[in-house]
Amino acid sequence: MTSAIEVHGLGKHFGAVVAVDDLSFEVAEGRVTGFLGPNGSGKTTTLRMLLGLVSITAGTATFGGRRYVDLPHPVRHVGAALEATSFHPSRRAEDHLRTVALAGGIPRSRVHEVLELVGLTDVARRRVGKFSLGMRQRLQLATALLGEPEILILDEPANGLDPQGIQWLRTFIRRQAADGHAVLVSSHLLSEMEETVDDVVIISQGRLVLQTTLAELSSKAGTSTGMRIRTPEINRLATVLNAVPVYWRQVGPDTLVIDGATPEWFGPFAAQHQIVLYELVHERGSLEDVFLDLTQGFDAAHPLEGGSGQSAPFQAPEDAR
């Protein structure tokens, strides 16, 4: 498995503002890599640095060892769909694709192939100004595919697509990877991508939080985040909880949550103190929770340590086991 895209120590400063800082990751051939982070975390800036649209302050971003500007006929190697607004409104869809085909030395017949592929054949002669956001997204994809590139870079491609469109996009992306292409797809929602990606690169505040496989990330999810307990004896439970090193908080008149606790610990604990329970819910984190936890709680000063004060890992007291 070789790397189609390599990013090493990439940095971007806008004046005093650091948008991307010392970012390194790789994108493998034949796999879909999700490039994830909250809005404003530097995803778009990074993708634009890769493509030579934004100048690089530090580090390198290369495709098989070459910078984008050094690729001969770059659109035949790297297809990029960046934002749905960059069309001339009075240009027809087909003409837009033809301008790209001409510049990239791509045969004209390919224009009709990609229009067919994204389902825009019927509106090929329509002016792009009349297109809906979803149609523009499809036209962006068609533009990216024009040169039959082996690397695809998609910036938030699901924006503006209806549920069927998103389903179509997923199938499409998976097929690209199955054909051996490398796909780097950005999103601020992991849930949108979790059925599509093989690998994840998570960034926050311009720095790498984590690069791993989706399988690895999933194993972090499904772990316990805490116990939700409803009891008529909330005051007595609070008293006994205060005697052990756990974080808890009251969330209702008769309900409290114990962070990080497991049923295996709390069941015997409640029995030992003879507390009556009405309800006992084991709360498990979703993949999205893991993602939010990694990005929101991320402290830029200590990358890779992750975690946050609010959800410090629960440690069951020795005597309670």
Question: Where do contacts with another protein occur on this chain (CB under 8 A)?
Answer: 44-45, 48, 51-55, 68-69, 71, 74-75, 80, 82-83, 85-92, 95-96, 98-100, 102-105, 143
In whole angstroms, the minimum distance from the beta carbon of 97 to another protein comes to 10
- Report DSSP letters for 181-200, one per residue: -EEEEEES-HHHHTTT-SEE
- Report DSSP letters for 74-141, one per residue: GGGTEEEE--TT-S-TTSBHHHHHHHHHHHHT--THHHHHHHHHTT-GGGTTSBGGG--HHHHHHHHH
In whole angstroms, the minimum distance from the beta carbon of 56 to another protein comes to 10
In whole angstroms, the minimum distance from the beta carbon of 164 to another protein comes to 27
- Report DSSP letters for 23-47, one per residue: EEEEEETTSEEEEE--TTSSHHHHH
Q: How far apart are CA 203 and CA 291, in angstroms?
A: 10
Comparison of 149 and 226: residue with beta carbon closer to another protein: 149
In whole angstroms, the minimum distance from the beta carbon of 23 to another protein comes to 17
Comparison of 11 and 52: residue with beta carbon closer to another protein: 52
Comparison of 127 and 282: residue with beta carbon closer to another protein: 127
Q: How far apart are CA 171 and CA 152, in angstroms?
A: 15
CB 143 within 8 A of CB 153: no
Comparison of 98 and 282: residue with beta carbon closer to another protein: 98
CB 276 within 8 A of CB 231: yes
- Report angle CA 188, 193, 198 to the nearest 5 degrees: 120
In whole angstroms, the minimum distance from the beta carbon of 79 to another protein comes to 9
Comparison of 100 and 115: residue with beta carbon closer to another protein: 100
In whole angstroms, the minimum distance from the beta carbon of 27 to another protein comes to 18
How many other C-beta atoms are found inside a 10 Å radius of the C-beta of residue 272?
A: 10
Comparison of 148 and 254: residue with beta carbon closer to another protein: 148
